[in-house]
A and B are shown apart, each in its own frame.
Chain A
Amino acid sequence: AQTVTQSQPEMSVQEAETVTLSCTYDTSENNYYLFWYKQPPSRQMILVIRQEAYKQQNATENRFSVNFQKAAKSFSLKISDSQLGDTAMYFCAFHDYTSGTYKYIFGTGTRLKVLA
């Protein structure tokens, strides 16, 4: 069965510093997508970044970037120049679009607190 593991339940970082959130997953598929979603205190789920497994280049969106290691099945999120507004729960998600069910599997989340 496909699984997504986020081993860091909570993290904190000083404002303007860099932090990396870890995510590992397990699948036998070769083609899939990986995502990071952010859930601030408002509890809205917001897409942060997306990575296609067939692309070797790591995705980047402004201060957010990923380190995608396909062989190691690792997908970490790096937040640079952390801002107070980055305080949120972060969920890693795996999307299997080859099985026909288009299933999304979410990790348990990492609660990130940015300190002033």
Chain B
Amino acid sequence: DSGVTQTPKHLITATGQRVTLRCSPRSGDLSVYWYQQSLDQGLQFLIHYYNGEERAKGNILERFSAQQFPDLHSELNLSSLELGDSALYFCASQGGYQETQYFGPGTRLLVL
């Protein structure tokens, strides 16, 4: 158990819909990263937050947005969903900038 929690574990929805994925980092970790992993693909970095502030953006679509709240949990919002958005979405947390990144169990999103 990495100490990072993600909810929900599974999500099935229809095209055009909007969903919110939630991540709670390990106790004390200030950084949250979001990644997308399509079937049999590598990890695509989406976005990084540090103590509530956005620090870096990767290949994140305009239909996707994220935020980190004062209690340090983070939410990834996916809107106008398309079939191609079906993937495993991971969040990972990190303490100090020299520390290791630990992954949550992921949220499996299926868009029908």
Contacts and interface: CB of A to CB of B under 8 A. Distances in A.
Interface of A: 33, 35, 37, 43-47, 50, 91, 95, 97, 100-109
Contacts, number: 50
Contacts of A103: 45, 48, 56
Interface string B44-64: 010010100001100000000
The binding surface of chain A is classed by DSSP as: strand
Interface stretch (B10-18, B19-27, B73-81, B94-102): B94-102
Nearest to A6: B42
Contact of B98 (A43, A97, A100, A108): A97
A4 B110 CA distance: 29
Given A91-B42, A108-B42, A109-B42, A102 B31 contact: yes
8 contacts: A33-B100, A37-B103, A44-B103, A44-B105, A47-B100, A103-B56, A104-B45, A108-B42
B66 to A, nearest CB: 15
Contacts of B50: 102
